[in-house]
Amino acid sequence: MANKKVFLYVGYFTDKFTKYEAYSDTDITGLHADEFVITCAGYPGYFKYDYAPEEKGGLPTPDSEKERLDRLNFYMNKQVELAVRIIRLTGKTVWFGFPQPPRPTKTITIEEYKKYITAFLDIAATLKLKINGYNKDYYYNYVQGFYMNDEHVRRHTFSTGNGIDDPYGVNTDVNHLRNHPQIHMYSEVSKALKTAAYGWKKLLWAPYMGYGNNYDTTMIDIAYIANTTDIFDTVLLQPHHYFFYEENGQEDVKKNLAVVRNSLNRQEVRRRTNSGNTDTRVVAKKSSTIIGCQMEIDESYFNEKLKHYAACRQKFPDYLEAFSGSKVTSPANRVFSFYCDQRFNGWEDAQKEVNDFFDTL
Over the stretch 311-321, which tens digit does the pLDDT of each residue have?
Answer: 888 888 888 99
Q: Does the pLDDT of residue 26 top 50, yes or no?
A: yes
> How confident is the model at residue 136, as a pLDDT?
93
Kindly state the percentage of the chain with pLDDT values over 70: 89
> How confident is the model at residue 235, as a pLDDT?
98
Sign of the dihedral defined by the CA atoms of residues 307, 310, 312, 313, in that order: positive
Kindly state the percentage of the chain with pLDDT values over 90: 61
State the amino acid at position 167 in one-letter form.
Answer: P
> How confident is the model at residue 164, as a pLDDT?
59
Question: Measured over all CA atoms, what is the biggest interatomic distance in the chain, rounded to whole angstroms?
Answer: 65
Average pLDDT value for residue range 165-186: 86
Is 193 within 8 Å of 203 (Cβ atoms)?
yes
> How confident is the model at residue 295, as a pLDDT?
93
**Partners of 94 in beta bridges:** 36, 143
CB atoms within 10 A of CB 247: 8
Taking the C-alpha atoms of residue 86 and residue 93, their distance in angstroms, rounded to an integer, is: 8
CA dist 303 to 2, 69, 298, Å? 31, 36, 9
Average pLDDT value for residue range 257-265: 96
Interval 95-114: pLDDT, tens:
999 998 877 778 888 988 99
State the amino acid at position 203 in one-letter form.
Answer: L
> How confident is the model at residue 318, as a pLDDT?
86
Q: Does the pLDDT of residue 59 top 70, yes or no?
A: no
**Partners of 148 in beta bridges:** 205
Closest CA to 233 of 186, 179, 163: 186
State the amino acid at position 166 in one-letter form.
Answer: D
> How confident is the model at residue 193, as a pLDDT?
98
Q: Which residues, in sequence order, are CB contacts of 53 under 8 Å at separation 6+?
A: none
